[in-house]
Structure 1
Amino acid sequence: MLSAKSLFEEILHDDEAFRLFCSIAASGESQGGWENGRIAALVPESERELAPKVARHGADEDKHGRIFRALMKKRGLTPVDVPHETDYTMLLEQHGIGLAHGRLRREQQLGVPDIVTYLAHSRVTEQRASEQMDLLHRYFADHPDIGRAVKMISQDEDNHLAYCHEELLRLAYAGHGRTIQRTLRTCALAEIRIYRNVSLAVMDHMGRLLGWPRAKSALLAAGIHAVYAYERAVGWRRMVSLRMPERRDALGGPALTAAEFA
């Protein structure tokens, strides 16, 4: 029977598939860490109180990258180059979602509209990350090899999502509500399309590594297309709603370390 748990168990038990999975995850987290670090350095004076939270967000993402690399190292594996078509974070940037890397490399202070763009992009992508880690947490929180990593990253992603909700609501109350909703919708519709394409690419690579029969690969591809159809119709709305989170000031303190993995 095909299920998210059984698929991930296949990946977990095969060194080459696990290495590709962790390499993709580590690359995306490290890129997110760099982006947040640059944004923290360029936050406008009117938003200086946000800078430590953005920096904390980036520190968490860097930590996640180290955790995924450490999981590979524990099994004697080294990272592989990430295939372009599986690079979710880079593809989002290339399609104009979030702040362009060229902009972040310049030593020019951001404006409040840039902060709105950053937070809206994060709101959408952290929704995806939180849901994915919640799934892994449900199935593998007690796993002897990856359980602690899954629990730590899942908690961080929930904190990131709470932070995005709270900061976007603050900016909405300050008069940026229409811009926020417009930006969220644009980000969400682009993200679900890119997520579908990346999911198909990842499953194609995994299928070849794991020797899946053609029928199994076709069934998985059909499932990915079905999820996209649902998200394109109504599912995207969960990515654009805003509500005050139970976890207030979720990124207000120092980042938790992961010395046991790094």
Structure 2
Amino acid sequence: MLSARSLFHEIHDHDEAFRLFCSIAAKGEDQGGWENGRISRLVDDQWLAPRIARHGADEDKHGRIFNALLHKRGLGPVEVPESTDYTMILERQGIGLAHSRLRRDEPLTEADVITYLAHSRVTEQRAAEQMRLLRRVFGEHPEIGRAVRMISADEDNHLAYCHEELLRLAAAGHGRQILRTLQDTARAEIRTYRDVSLAVMAHMGAILRWPRAKSAALAAGIHGVFGYERLGGWHRMTTLRMPARLDALGGPAAHESLA
């Protein structure tokens, strides 16, 4: 039976598929770590800067965790295909703060901060959902369960932080700009997630030698998710609510341990 559980276990149990999966994940986390690190140094907000830095430290930690999972299997990372690079595909569409902007040593404006937080709120929604799925599948797995639980908890904290900070800015009079930016970001994100998911599944199918019918069924499922999101599911990425845990990033990043 074709299910998320069976699919993820198939990828986990095959060295080359697992290698590609972890390499894609590690690259995305490394990019997020660099971006947040740069933003924390450019933002002129003494409350926000250390929380952005903590976010970046968490992302760097996640990249190390995925690489450590490969190392434990005696594997090394592989080059990530451009078609699976979610972060850079979003940037090429003008979503979030461009790397060229972050490389300039110029303080970020309030509009820049709203762009950053809206981008983070949408992409962290996706990350939190994906990690909750992996936690359901692998949460008690002896090899990767601890890593999955750790990353999932961090992603939940990142999402909570984005909600809280955007609500703080909305209360300061930026509500319309925030909503508009969230909507533009979410519409672009659902298209990008569809395209990247199709690309990842195509590469996995080639590695795992999936029959044509299986690949077609998975592609249909991806298009089905996109259809749901395009018709209204994307709105979950644009709503804001005060999280149960306040100041979720108000402290140092926890060190990873996969022992």
- Shorter-normalised TM-score: what interval? over 0.9
For the residues of structure 2 that align with 1:124 and 1:210, how far apart are their CA atoms?
31
Residues in 2 aligned to 1:251 and 1:69: alpha-carbon distance in whole angstroms: 24
Give the TM-score normalised by the residue count of structure 1: 0.98
1:213 has 2:217 as partner:
no
Partner SS state of residue 205, structure 2: helix
Aligned-residue identity in percent? 72
Q: SS of the counterpart of 2:131?
A: helix
The reply on whether 1:110 has 2:108 as its aligned counterpart is: yes
Equivalents in 2 of 1:215, 1:69: separation in Å?
A: 33
- How far does the alpha carbon of each residue in 1:41-96 deviate from its partner, in whole angstroms, 9 at most, with x for none? 0002xx22100000000000000000000000000101000000000111111111
Deviation >3 Å, runs of 4+? none
Tell me which of 165, 171, 174 is aligned to 1:173: 171
Root-mean-square deviation (CA, aligned residues, Å) is 0.7
Residue 198 of structure 1 is matched in structure 2 by 196
Residues 119-198 of structure 1 aligned to structure 2 (within 5 Å): 119-198=117-196
Distance in structure 2 (CA, Å) of the matches to 1:79 and 1:90:
19
Q: Which residue of 2 aligns with 1:97?
A: 95
Query: Do the aligned residues in 1 keep the contact of 2:146 with 2:258 (CA within 8 Å)?
Result: no
Q: Tell me how many residue pairs correspond in the alignment.
A: 259
Query: Which residue number corresponds to residue 6 of structure 1?
Result: 6
- Distance in 1 (alpha carbons) for counterparts of 2:137 and 2:219: 22
Distance in 1 between the 2:242 and 2:130 partners? 22
Tell me if 1:19 matches 2:15. Answer: no
TM-score by length of 2: 0.99
Paired residues for 1:212-231 under 5 Å: 212-231=210-229
The alpha carbon displacement at 1:14 in A equals: 0.1
In 1: Cα distance, 2:165 partner to 2:221 partner = 34
Is the partner of 1:250 in helix, strand or coil? coil
1:5 partner letter: R
Q: CA deviation at 1:259?
A: 3.9
Name the CA distance, whole Å, in 2 between partners of 1:102 and 1:80: 26
For 2:208 and 2:160, how far apart are their aligned partners in 1? 37
* Ranges in structure 1 where 5+ consecutive residues have no aligned partner: none
Question: Secondary structure of the residue that 2:195 maps to in structure 1?
Answer: helix
Please tell me the residue identity of whatever aligns with 1:10. E
